[in-house]
Structure 1
Amino acid sequence: METDLTYLPPNLPVPTDDGACDHLDGLQIPDIQLAATDGTMLRLRNIPGRLVIYCYPMTGPSHIPLPPGWDEIPGARGCTPQACSFRDHYQELQQLQTTVFGMSTQSPEMQRSERERIHLPFHLLSDEHRHFSEALRLPVHMVDSLILIKRLTLVFENGYIRKHFYPVFPPDKHIDEVLAYLKATAV
């Protein structure tokens, strides 16, 4: 059975702010290299200016079933709609001189397939060894044997977190909050 991952079912449970990201604003980006979907290792600390990283639990092709009870986990469902919303507003992000990446704990191979499947104009980053998420103490979902980053967005300026969005809901509309912040704080 295939699942339409671009569709958000009604009545999804809304995540609540548990304070798990309250410590983030002002932190420096960890000096860690991450695998990007173009096969390179990227050191995020070396990216000047504005950088947006939207973190998501997991995504993949519709023929791979979601974990049991996925839709009942607050904030879990919606990775593909979120990625598509960043894709659809990519030019606007570029006009705001903002670099964007998506990030999950999935392998670079899985992310490469996803990037191609939904035609993303930006790269996805793999934190499969969780060095980045552990360095920043990002909140996670524990699902079966998987450790997945909860949905959140980080806005860095010159290597420091200036804003975090957590929890993110609904994921397909979150880009509006990000763009509003970027426009309000544009230099």
Structure 2
Amino acid sequence: MVDNRSLQDVDWSKLPIPENDGAAAHLAGAPVADVALPSTAGGSVSLATVSGRTVLFIYPMTGTPGVALPDGWDVIPGARGCTPHACAFRDLHAELTRAGAAAVFGLSTQTLEEQKATVERLHLPFPLLSDACLAFAHAMSLPEMEVSGKAMIKRMALIIDDGTITHVFYPVFPPDRNAADVLEWLKENPL
């Protein structure tokens, strides 16, 4: 059984640290692919057409209370910590917008229904986007990993300015610190 508390209370010192494998090196300066992604806010969003500065954090999958995490989840570098990752962006959302983020989105390969449940359970003030078909991941050649036969996107965060990736945070560890790192970058790099 997995509950919100066990998903958020993580001893990072006991988890393997992801290494920079260079799989995101091509992203800085790249135009964002015009792929419509289902949004928990309704309809779909193409990050290529969002105006202003967008913060996009990407994660493999959030755990679901009552559903066991995949076998070996904690030994996969960078897998554990999606709930703390999302909660950190939730907790700093107002500061991120004050620092220049016109929009904040989370993205994973989970279904829209799973994403809606996450938004509700974690009280997220921003939409989550679903790339369940990996259309965006493949169009952008995002780094992926396979877990229990399912392809997932590795954890990262992107700063997107008017459809172009300005900055890439990869790898991200520990996940709960990423939102603060993004906030610091936004303050140091105003539009």
TM-score range, shorter chain: over 0.9
Structure 1 residue 126: deviation in Å? 0.3
Tell which deviates more after alignment, 48-57 or 90-99.
90-99
1:111 aligns with 2:98: no
User: Corresponding residue for 2:39?
Assistant: 36
Counterparts of 2:165 and 2:2 in 1: how far apart (Å)?
A: 38
Secondary structure of the residue aligned to 1:172 is helix
* Structure 1: segments with no counterpart, 5+ residues: none
Greater helix proportion: 2
Structure 1 residue 94: deviation in Å? 1.3
User: Corresponding residue for 1:88?
Assistant: 91
User: Corresponding residue for 1:2?
Assistant: 2
1:26 aligns with 2:44: no
Counterparts of 1:97 and 1:173 in 2: how far apart (Å)?
A: 19
Q: 1:13 aligns with which of 11, 16, 24?
A: 16
1:128-160 deviations in Å (ceiling 9; x for gaps): 111111011011110112101000111111110
Secondary structure of the residue aligned to 2:14 is coil
Tell which deviates more after alignment, 136-145 or 163-172.
136-145
| Counterpart AA for 2:136 | F
Counterparts of 1:88 and 1:36 in 2: how far apart (Å)?
A: 20
Counterparts of 1:136 and 1:45 in 2: how far apart (Å)?
A: 11
Counterparts of 2:99 and 2:183 in 1: how far apart (Å)?
A: 9
| Counterpart AA for 2:119 | R
Q: 1:157 aligns with which of 145, 156, 161?
A: 161
* Structure 2: segments with no counterpart, 5+ residues: none
Secondary structure of the residue aligned to 1:101 is strand
- The structure 1 segments of at least 4 consecutive aligned residues displaced by more than 6 Å after TM superposition are none
Structure 1 residue 174: deviation in Å? 1.1
Structure 1 residue 2: deviation in Å? 2.9
| Counterpart AA for 2:108 | S
Structure 1 residue 39: deviation in Å? 2.5
| Counterpart AA for 1:90 | H
Q: How does 1:24-173 map to 2 (within 5 A)?
A: 24-98=27-101, 99-173=103-177
CA RMSD of aligned residues (A): 1.0
Structure 1 residue 166: deviation in Å? 0.5
Contact 1:37-1:111 within 8 A present in 2 as well: yes
Contact 2:2-2:68 within 8 A present in 1 as well: yes
Structure 1 residue 45: deviation in Å? 1.6
Identity rate, percent: 46
- Aligned pair count? 187
Structure 1 residue 60: deviation in Å? 3.1
Secondary structure of the residue aligned to 2:136 is helix
Secondary structure of the residue aligned to 2:175 is coil
TM-score by length of 1: 0.97
